[in-house]
């Protein structure tokens, strides 16, 4: 039984009347991803002001959720009388929305959110052109869209991701060596640049004995040899106790509070929430320019940004913070101020709601 199944057993989903649902947020892939995380964080905020429900596997029971047997109810208008919005975030969800509208004749409008920072394939472009509205999660991702769109950047949960305030939030509570920690969180894989981080730590940590590197995240079957190779390099460097793989942790939020510097070394990303989560925790960030990272991190103010895939540049950007932890603390404080002002989840929810309102206004004309 996976975590979502356990959650549903402990907290059965509350009964949802589809007639009260004006927006459906489908999640038609079970695999955990940034899309899933976005739905999990955003839907509870949206539910405060609109009838919204999720549909699909792999989501926590705490979200308002439609069962598969209720899909037939989507063929009728909701109680509000306006067409229901189907908010897709993947190709499969755009296809499902078009099928509901074209084949089942559901009174439905289609919205798509794109985080991709690459040229879309021909079929994806065809799907996107059939949406009633398109949202880009960053200016950069918007440049790869050939249709009118609205930029609505992701926000972060400021209650979950917050500065250290309790004894357990401090690094010494982890019982690991060193006075300061530097973190790299996420799936362990080449795309995420975990190897670039490990190489930087092997080069730097021997010169900065007060620091320990923390790596959290899942290793999938196909990436096990990659992870074993990284561990072998760490062991060979004699840094086994100071570069630590923790695997999947129950609550990654506390680790953002425990580290003094967070590193996001991805080679490519869609949007990438981890720098926001780190800054919301009062932690300085060194990031590659993958995804939206360059739009989130202000060099010299909240951290630094380096070219994706450039290990030497990553190492050189990290070292000033190891040399001067006070600089990391100052940039962490600056990051907290920036995120609190510009990236709360409520701001994202308002931006998405404005898109919904335009779609409904156009449908009424």
Residues 197 and 215 in one domain: yes
Could you read off the pLDDT of 32-72 as tens digits, one per residue? 677 888 899 999 999 999 999 999 998 888 999 999 999 99
Kindly state whether residue 98 falls inside one of the protein's structural domains: yes
CB 181 within 8 A of CB 171: yes
Residues 190 and 296 in one domain: yes
Q: What is the mean pLDDT of the chain?
A: 93
CB 309 within 8 A of CB 196: yes
Q: Give the DSSP H or E segment for 306.
A: strand 303-306
Kindly state whether residue 89 falls inside one of the protein's structural domains: yes
Residues 255 and 354 in one domain: no
Residues 183 and 324 in one domain: yes
Q: What is the C-alpha separation between 204 and 29, in angstroms, rounded?
A: 40
Give the pLDDT band (50/70/90) at residue 6.
Answer: very low
Kindly state whether residue 162 falls inside one of the protein's structural domains: no
Side-chain half-sphere exposure of 356, counting CA atoms within 13 A:
23
Model's pTM, two decimal places? Answer: 0.88
Question: What is the extent of the structural domain holding 234?
Answer: 167-342
Residues 312 and 352 in one domain: no
Residues 176 and 133 in one domain: no
Residues 244 and 314 in one domain: yes
Residues 69 and 213 in one domain: no
140 closest CA partner among 111, 112, 116, 120 = 116
Kindly state whether residue 57 falls inside one of the protein's structural domains: yes
Check residue 117 and give its pLDDT. Answer: 82
Mean pLDDT of 6-14: 45
Q: Give the DSSP H or E segment for 304.
A: strand 303-306
Could you read off the pLDDT of 209-246 as tens digits, one per residue? 999 999 999 999 999 999 999 999 999 999 999 999 99
Could you read off the pLDDT of 51-60 as tens digits, one per residue? 999 999 988 8
Sheet holding 180-185, edge to edge: 243-247, 211-216, 180-185, 261-264, 284-288, 303-306
Mean pLDDT of 310-333: 98
Please say whether the dihedral angle defined by the alpha carbons of residues 30, 34, 40 and 45, taken in this order, is positive or negative. negative
Number of compact structural domains in the chain: 2
3-state secondary structure of 285: strand
CATH of the domain at 300: 3.40.50.2000
Residues 287 and 320 in one domain: yes
Residues 217 and 309 in one domain: yes
Kindly state whether residue 161 falls inside one of the protein's structural domains: no
Kindly state whether residue 296 falls inside one of the protein's structural domains: yes
Does 306 have pLDDT greater than 50? Answer: yes
Residues 151 and 206 in one domain: no
Residue labelled with tokens 């990391």: 328
Does 12 have pLDDT greater than 70? Answer: no
Residues 354 and 330 in one domain: no
Kindly state whether residue 185 falls inside one of the protein's structural domains: yes
Kindly state whether residue 160 falls inside one of the protein's structural domains: no
**Cα separation values, 324 from 261, 306, 312, Å:** 11, 19, 19
């Amino acid at each position: 039984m996976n975590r979502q199944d356990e959650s549903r057993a402990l907290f059965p989903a509350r009964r949802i009347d589809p007639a009260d649902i004006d927006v459906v947020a489908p999640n038609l892939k079970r695999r955990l991803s940034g899309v899933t995380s976005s739905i999990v964080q955003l839907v509870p905020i949206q539910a405060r002001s609109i009838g919204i429900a999720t549909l699909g596997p792999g989501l926590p029971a705490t979200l308002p959720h439609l069962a598969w047997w209720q899909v037939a109810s989507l063929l009728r208008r909701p109680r509000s009388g306006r067409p229901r919005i189907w908010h897709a975030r993947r190709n499969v969800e755009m296809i499902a929305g078009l099928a509901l509208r074209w084949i089942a004749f559901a009174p439905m409008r289609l919205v798509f959110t794109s985080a991709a920072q690459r040229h879309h394939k021909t079929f994806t472009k065809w799907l996107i052109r059939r949406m009633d509205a398109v949202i880009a999660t960053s200016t950069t991702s918007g440049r790869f869209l050939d249709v009118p769109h609205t930029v609505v950047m992701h926000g972060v949960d400021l209650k979950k991701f917050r500065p250290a305030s309790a004894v357990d939030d401090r690094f010494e509570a982890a019982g690991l060596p060193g006075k300061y920690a530097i973190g790299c969180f996420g799936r362990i894989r080449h795309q995420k640049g975990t190897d670039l981080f490990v190489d930087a730590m092997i080069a730097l940590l021997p010169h900065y004995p007060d620091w320990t590197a923390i790596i959290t995240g899942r290793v999938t079957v196909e990436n096990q040899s990659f992870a074993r190779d990284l561990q072998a390099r760490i062991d060979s460097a004699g840094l086994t106790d100071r570069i630590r793989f923790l695997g999947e942790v129950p609550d990654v939020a506390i680790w953002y509070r425990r580290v003094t510097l967070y590193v996001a070394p991805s080679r490519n990303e869609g949007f990438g929430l981890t720098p926001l989560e780190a800054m919301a925790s009062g932690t300085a960030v060194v990031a590659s320019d993958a995804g939206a990272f360059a739009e989130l991190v202000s060099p010299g103010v909240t951290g630094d940004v380096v070219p994706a895939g450039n290990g030497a540049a990553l190492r050189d950007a990290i070292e000033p913070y190891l040399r001067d932890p006070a600089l990391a603390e100052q940039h962490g404080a600056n990051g907290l101020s920036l995120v609190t002002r510009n990236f709360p989840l409520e701001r994202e929810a308002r931006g998405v709601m404005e898109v919904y309102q335009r779609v409904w206004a156009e449908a009424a004309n």
